[in-house]
Structure formats: C-alpha cells, structure tokens
C-alpha cells in the first residue's frame, strides 16, 4: 500500500474529528479554531509567495475568505448546517478525486495539477453527491434537484480552487504549501478548495438578498 496514502488516511482520521469538534461546539471554540487556521494559512501563503507581486492580493483574498467562513457559521440563518454541508462537499470532492484518480488513473486534466485526472473529477462529483444524499436521508431531509445543483456548483468551485492553488505552487516551485499535515502538506493544501467556496457562497447569498 502506498505510504503517502496511508499517511493521508491516518491524518484525515485524526484531524477531521478534531476539526468537527471545534465547528460543532461553536462560539469561542469555533472562533479560536478559525483564527488558528487563518494564521497558519496566511503564513504558508506568505512563505510560498514572498517577493511575488501577487502576494498582497493573496493576503487580502484569504482575509475575505476566512471572514466569509466565520460569517456563514455565526451569522447566517442555519449557518451551522450550511457550513457543515459546504465542508462535507469539499472534503468528499477531495477524497473522491484522490481515490478515483489513484485507482482508475486515466488522462490528466491539466498540467497545472499533474495528479488531477478526468476520472478524479468525476469521482469528486460522485462522492460529494453520495455523501450529501445519505446525510440528508439520515436526517430525514428531502434531497431534490436544487440540492444536486448546489453540490455540483460547490464541488466545481472546490476543484477549481485546488487547481488555482496548484498554479501558484508551480510558480513558486514548491510541491506543498507546508509540512504540517503528514500526507497532505500544509493547511492551505488541505483547504485550497474551501477558501474559494466560502467567499463565493457569501457573495451570492448577499446578491440574492438584495
């Protein structure tokens, strides 16, 4: 069995419950958690993009992205559930893409992110749909076409976010943004899709509300 896969799996088993604890507890716990993640992500971005002319734009984007995540969790009506659904879709997209890409391989999607394949993209969509469907079924929530569209949109944004961060990693000639999480890299490597989903969801919500 691939050692990277083992490290990645064990890290996920260890970290996901810890992250969920802080998110579910909310209040001080969530605020503390998101501030720590923000500071680490900001550090990783600045270490990767130092002396680059786009550095400041990345810093501003990360500030807005984490503020969006904070606001959705704490201020939106049903923000807790929205936050968890976004998290579930992004994590499922990442796992589905990784597992399907490893097992079935196939043509590469783009040179920017050499490990991403067309099959992996499909796997990301498939697992995110399955995860949300069974979560809704467990909670006795109806799953309809609007949910399917939402999952597809969030999964797409998450995968595009992954590619965008991969592009900046290639510009900086680094494989990972950090070494904090065995098998994954840095925090930014792990949340590269989420940091794009939260602000886009935040913006669309306020546009619709006007």
Domain of residue 169, residue span? 3-209
Is a pLDDT exceeding 70 seen at residue 177? yes
Q: With CA atoms as reference, report the closest residue to 38 among 67, 9, 17, 76.
A: 67
Tens digit of each residue's pLDDT (9 = 90 or more) over 53-91 = 999 999 999 999 999 999 999 999 889 999 999 999 999
φ/ψ region of 105 (left if φ > 0, alpha if ψ in -120 to 50, else beta) reads left
Contacts of 89 by beta carbon, 8 Å cutoff, 6+ apart? 128, 131, 132, 151, 154, 155, 158, 197
| Residues 105, 87 contacting (CB under 8 angstroms) | no
| Residues 197, 158 contacting (CB under 8 angstroms) | yes
128: how many CB neighbours lie within 10 A of its CB?
26
pTM over 0.85: yes
- What total of structural domains would you count in the chain? 1
């Amino acid at each position: 069995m691939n050692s990277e896969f083992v490290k990645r799996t064990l890290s996920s088993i260890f970290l996901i419950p810890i992250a969920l604890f802080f998110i579910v507890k909310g209040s001080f716990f969530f605020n503390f958690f998101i501030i720590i993640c923000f500071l680490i992500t900001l550090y990783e971005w600045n270490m990767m993009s130092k002396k680059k002319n786009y550095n400041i734009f990345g810093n501003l984007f990360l500030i807005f992205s984490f503020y969006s995540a904070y606001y959705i969790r704490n201020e939106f009506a049903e923000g807790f559930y929205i936050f968890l659904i976004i998290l579930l879709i992004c994590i499922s997209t990442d796992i589905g893409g990784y597992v399907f890409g490893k097992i079935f391989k196939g043509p590469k999607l783009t040179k920017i992110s050499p490990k991403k394949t067309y099959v992996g993209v499909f796997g990301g969509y498939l697992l995110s749909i399955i995860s949300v469907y069974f979560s809704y079924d467990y909670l006795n929530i109806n799953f309809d076409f609007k949910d399917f569209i939402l999952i597809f949109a969030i999964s797409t944004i998450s995968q595009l976010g992954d590619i965008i961060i991969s592009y900046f990693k290639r510009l900086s000639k680094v494989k990972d943004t950090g070494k904090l999480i065995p098998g994954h890299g840095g925090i930014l490597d792990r949340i590269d899709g989420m940091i794009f989903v939260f602000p886009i969801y935040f913006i669309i919500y306020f546009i619709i509300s006007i």
